[in-house]
Amino acid sequence: MASISPANPLKRLARVLAYAGLRLVGNVFRPIKNPENLHGKVWLYVVSANNYDALSFIKEARPDAVLLAGQAKNIGRYNGAVNRLSLRRKLLYYWQFPVVFAGLLRSEGRRAWRFFDFIFYAIGYYEVYRRALRHYRPQAVVFSNDHNDDSRSLLLACRAEGVPTAYVQHASVSTSFPPLGFDLSLLEGQDALDKYRQCGPVRGRVELVGMPKADVFLSAKNNAPAVRRVGVASNVHDPVPALQESLGFLIQEFPDLTFTLRPHPSDPRNFGPLRRALPALQWSDARQENVFAFLQNHDALIAGDTSTHLEATLLNLVSIYYQFSANPLIHDYYGYAAHGLVDQARTLPELRELLLRYQTQKPATHFRRAAYYNATLGTEHEGHSQQLALQLLSEWLA
């Protein structure tokens, strides 16, 4: 958590003050001028580049759809491609913060102190978004994130204002997510529905449509008979020293294989020392290269807790779960190892043995392991999830 909410309370306070100055006060002096009209449209609400990738097919197919995000929200490489909802009035609602914080102190105790920064950030979204909904009266709002503070606020605002809501799953989910609460939810497969049922009551209509963002890539499955190129996906949970130790071991053990490291796009750490320590290691910039484009250049994937395992298996890469950090709180977070989607290596020698096996022969039908996660695999809709999702959305909107 330290990268998004520092353990040191003074550092958390510094972030809160920076947010207040740069975002709250700063937004007041940045009027919004959107390139598209938002009145009466179908809103595609995004909070990240991954969300944009998951919903852009709807924008391309529907002239009444507009992509939008909160003012100053970082959407990565798509920052200039989305409309913005003004948050200039958010500052007006911060009189509520002491009341909210006191209430959470009573109900949550020390956790409220630990995450007072998150509480501070969340104030005002709900009220500002209700005002925006009354002003623009969209036909519906389509989400691809169901757990960020701004997304949750807009969802609750839609309920209060009677605006229909839909959800297009953009990545694997976990049982730690909020209950599914949209009028229409388009999920990728049975895995997601089973997990949401563990999160709480499922609200609204649910359809299993596969993975729309993968359509264009499913026809280009990896048919290499053996592993020669190995991608390694990391995130902020993976300590750099552990990455260096593991990658150094693999490069030494497999001089004939090519290894490429792809840090998560939100990982702010300096990887310069790792580059210098392992000059043979290749690199992929997740801020510039789409995850499927990255996977298409490899025969296998090694990673810890990331939904990239599913995307790799769909493309018929062999995917190996290896936890670079021994953190029991996030072990097999998505349940991929437990459900047999991926092989699991608990130690570097086990990882070496799995790679040796796949270096000799890679299964031609490895992708079938993903059927529990992608409902369209092996059906007439395989590779046509976008069409199926658009059809269901159109029927629902009508």
Q: What is the DSSP letter of 203?
A: P
Mean pLDDT of 88-103: 95
Does 269 reside within a domain? Answer: yes
Average of per-residue pLDDT across 57-86: 94
- Provide the pLDDT for residue 110: 92
More confident of the two residues 325 and 60:
60
pLDDT in tens, 247-260: 999 999 999 999 99
Cα 24 from Cα 124, distance rounded (Å) = 10
Please state the domain count of the chain. Answer: 2
DSSP state of 178: P
Over range 387-398, report the average pLDDT.
Answer: 96
221 & 157 share domain:
no
Q: Each residue of 280-290: pLDDT tens digit?
A: 999 999 888 88
Given a cut of 70, whether residue 346 has pLDDT beyond it is yes
User: What pLDDT does residue 332 have?
Assistant: 86
Asked whether residue 224 falls in the same domain as residue 166, the answer is no
277 domain residue, yes or no: yes
List the CATH number of the domain containing 137.
Answer: 3.40.50
- Residue 101 domain-assigned? yes
Does a structural domain hold residue 386? no
Residue 190 lies in a domain: no
Q: Are residues 162 and 241 in the same domain?
A: no
pLDDT-above-70 percentage for the chain = 99
Both 163 and 226 in a single domain?
Answer: no
Residues 18 and 74 in one domain: yes
Can you name the residues that pair with 65 across neighbouring β-strands? 42
The answer on 254 and 149 residing in a single domain is no
pLDDT digits over 277-317, tens only?
Answer: 999 999 999 888 888 899 999 999 999 999 899 999 999 99
Is residue 328 over pLDDT 70? no
Structure-model confidence comparison of residues 27 and 344, the more confident one: 344
Distance set, CA 76 to CA 57, 66, 67, 80 (Å): 18, 18, 14, 9
Please check the confidence at residue 3 and state whether its pLDDT lies above 80: no
| pLDDT score recorded for residue 287 | 84
Residue 35 domain-assigned (yes or no): yes
Residues 115 and 42 in one domain: yes
Same domain, 266 and 332: yes
User: Is the residue at 391 inside a domain?
Assistant: no
The Cβ of residue 350 has, within 10 Å, a number of other Cβ atoms equal to 14
Interaxial angle between packed helices 240-253 and 348-360, expressed in degrees from 0 to 180 and rounded to the nearest 10: 40
384 pLDDT band, cuts 50/70/90, is very high
Residue type, 162: G
Are residues 269 and 152 part of one domain?
no
Which of 148, 171, 194 delimits the end of a domain?
171
Q: In angstroms, how far is CA 213 from the centroid of its own chain? A: 13
Q: Whose structure tokens read 């649910």?
A: 206
Give the CATH number of the domain where residue 268 resides. Answer: 3.40.50.2000
Coil, strand or helix at 94:
helix
Tell whether 232 and 357 lie within a shared domain: yes
The tens digit of pLDDT for each residue in 72-87 reads 898 988 998 999 999 9
Strands (E), 38-179: 42-45, 65-70, 83-85, 140-143, 165-168
Query: Which of the four pLDDT bands, split at 50, 70 and 90, describes residue 331?
Result: confident
Q: pLDDT tens, 118-167?
A: 999 999 999 999 999 999 999 999 999 999 999 999 999 999 999 999 99
Measured CA to CA in angstroms, residue 329 lies from 16, 50, 163, 326 at distances of 27, 25, 37, 9
Q: Please identify which residue in the block is written with the tokens 């497969």.
A: 189
Q: Domain range for residue 129? A: 9-171
Please report which confidence band the pLDDT of residue 218 belongs to, taking 50, 70 and 90 as the band edges.
Answer: confident
Asked whether residue 203 is assigned to any structural domain, the reply reads no
Which band of pLDDT confidence, cut at 50, 70 and 90, is reported for residue 172? confident
In this structure, the strands spanning 300-303 and 229-234 are: parallel
Clarify whether residues 239 and 159 are in a common domain: no
Q: Quick one: what percent of the chain has pLDDT higher than 90?
A: 80
One domain for residues 275 and 149: no
